[in-house]
Amino acid sequence: MRSFLGGPGGRFFKKAPLAAEGISAFFLESVFLGILVFGRTKVSRKAYWWSAFMVFFGSHLSGLWIIIANSWMQTPAGYKMEGGRAVLTNFLQAALNHSTVERFLHTLAAGWITGSLAAASIAAWYILKNRDGNPARPLLRFSLIIFITASLLQLGLGHAHSVQVAKTQPEKMAAFEALWKSEKGAPFAVFGIPDSAEQKTHAFVGIPKFLSFLIHLDPEAEVLGLNEFPAGEQPPVFIPFVSYHIMIFLGMIFILASLTGIVLFVKKRIFDSKWYLRSLIFLLPLPYIANETGWIAAEVGRQPWAVFRVLRTADAASVNVPAGNILFSLILFALVYALIGTTGISIILRLIRKGPEDSESGDY
């Protein structure tokens, strides 16, 4: 791995996006998040709202740098190979490679869906409990507007990202759809159980010619199948197929919830429809599942490459770091994140139980 990313340019690009994320985004978020959570009664109203904006800005900036780093691994650009090493030749081309924009916008909309639905579910809980109605109603209205907008936008953004994958990583799209052989008028898979050993999808349910139409806007166009690629360069099928379709299924649920919300807004029944308010609470974990399954599909679907068609994952392992050290690091990271996550959720739940009006005291 060191030799592959060797040279001044290669090392710079490997480290630059994540270093920039840590310096310019992570610390920005963490500092102002502390003010946002614990400083409500300790800073001026203007400073408090400024802190909220900086958390908003920092999280988007963080996402951009992470997507830049990951997108280069998916569709590398702006480099040349010298002596078995990838050397950076154009940072702008590397950062804005063939998938950065589509992936960032897709991830951005997913974050908006997640955050807005979390806020909407909290507001719905208050309304159902007949408490904190004054702040809860505008919170529900505003968060649902964002949720509806992001969910509908995601339909187009997700489609654009899928088209990009089909053009730049066709073997990944073939795995997403369990398309074993190239096919004109390829169907879009709705359900199935891929079997790599038999090169077959059991209990397949699909929409005829729809995959060809979605990718090429031509129902008769040919879509490349896994048979077009060497066996050693084909990604796994089962995990990408399942995770990709779970993400799509959950996205359709969000669109259905959004359309229902629009109807209730028009009828002015959004605050009185208890069944809809309860459904918002039930939907709360689903965006998190959609986000994780989307990332699983993207990363497992990239295999067997660490850097797509440039560096194999098998060749990316460091020969200088013992496996025990890596295992210990993973366990330590898992414990630290579990502690941080548990503490964060505990604080959030305490704030929700207290309510926005009682939380004015700042006693957390």
pLDDT-based confidence at residue 24 (cuts at 50, 70, 90): low
Q: How confident is the model at residue 2 (pLDDT cuts 50, 70, 90)?
A: very low
- What 3-state DSSP class applies to 126? helix
Domain-embedded: residue 56: yes
Distance separating alpha carbons of residues 18 and 73, to the nearest angstrom: 13
Q: What pLDDT does 16 receive?
A: 60
Q: Is the pLDDT of residue 3 over 60?
A: no
Instruction: Identify the band that residue 12 occupies on the pLDDT scale cut at 50, 70 and 90.
Output: very low
pLDDT the model gives residue 23:
63
79 Cβ partners below 8 Å, 6+ apart?
Answer: 9, 10, 13, 86, 87, 88, 89, 94
- Residue 5: pLDDT above 60? no
Residue 204: count other Cβ atoms within 10 Å of its Cβ: 14
**What per-residue confidence (pLDDT) applies to 177?**
96
Confidence check: pLDDT of 315 > 80: yes
- Percent pLDDT > 70 in the chain is 90
pLDDT attached to residue 358: 57
Question: What angle (nearest 5°) sits at the alpha carbon of residue 68, between those of residues 63 and 72?
Answer: 145
Residue 32 lies in a domain: yes
pLDDT tens readout for residues 143-165: 999 999 999 999 999 999 999 99
- 221 versus 1: the higher-pLDDT residue is 221
Amino acid at the residue 129: K
Query: Whole-angstrom Cα distance, residue 50 to residue 44?
Result: 10
Say how far apart CA 242 and CA 302 lie, in whole Å.
15
User: Is residue 51, in this structure, part of any structural domain at all?
Assistant: yes
pTM score, two decimals? 0.87
N-to-C CA span, the chain: 47
Query: Is pLDDT at 8 greater than 90 in this prediction?
Result: no
> What is the C-alpha to C-alpha distance for residues 68 and 89, in angstroms, rounded to an integer?
16
5 inside domain: yes
More confident call, 184 vs 43: 184
145 is written with which tokens?
Answer: 């507007």
Task: Please say if the pLDDT value at position 91 is more than 90.
Answer: no
Which residue, 188, 183, 184, 190, is CA-closest to 225? 183
Among 75, 6, 64, 1, residue whose Cα is nearest residue 316 = 1
Instruction: Enumerate the β-bridge partners of residue 113.
Output: none
- Above 70 in pLDDT, residue 4? no
pLDDT at residue 308 above 50? yes
* Helix boundaries (H) for the chain: 7-20, 27-38, 45-74, 91-95, 100-128, 133-168, 170-176, 210-216, 238-266, 274-283, 286-302, 323-358
Q: Which residue has the tokens 């795995």?
A: 175
Q: Which residue would you say has higher pLDDT here, 269 or 353?
A: 269
Closest by Cα among 307, 315, 312 to 71? 307
| Number of domains composing the chain | 1
Enclosing domain of residue 87: 1-98
Q: Is the distance from CB of 58 to CB of 28 less than 8 angstroms?
A: yes
pLDDT at 350: 87
Given a contact cutoff of 8 angstroms between Cβ atoms, the answer to whether 146 and 116 are in contact is yes
Q: Which residue has the higher pLDDT, 325 or 275?
A: 275
Asked, for residue 363, whether it belongs to a domain, the answer is no
| Residue 345 confidence (pLDDT) above 80 | yes
308 part of a folded domain: no
For 189, the 3-state DSSP assignment is: strand
Query: Is 317 among the domain residues?
Result: no
Tell me how far apart the alpha carbons of residues 240 and 85 are, in angstroms, rounded to a whole number.
30
> So what's the pLDDT on residue 364?
40
Render pLDDT for 260-274 as a digit per residue (tens, 0 to 9).
Answer: 999 999 999 999 999
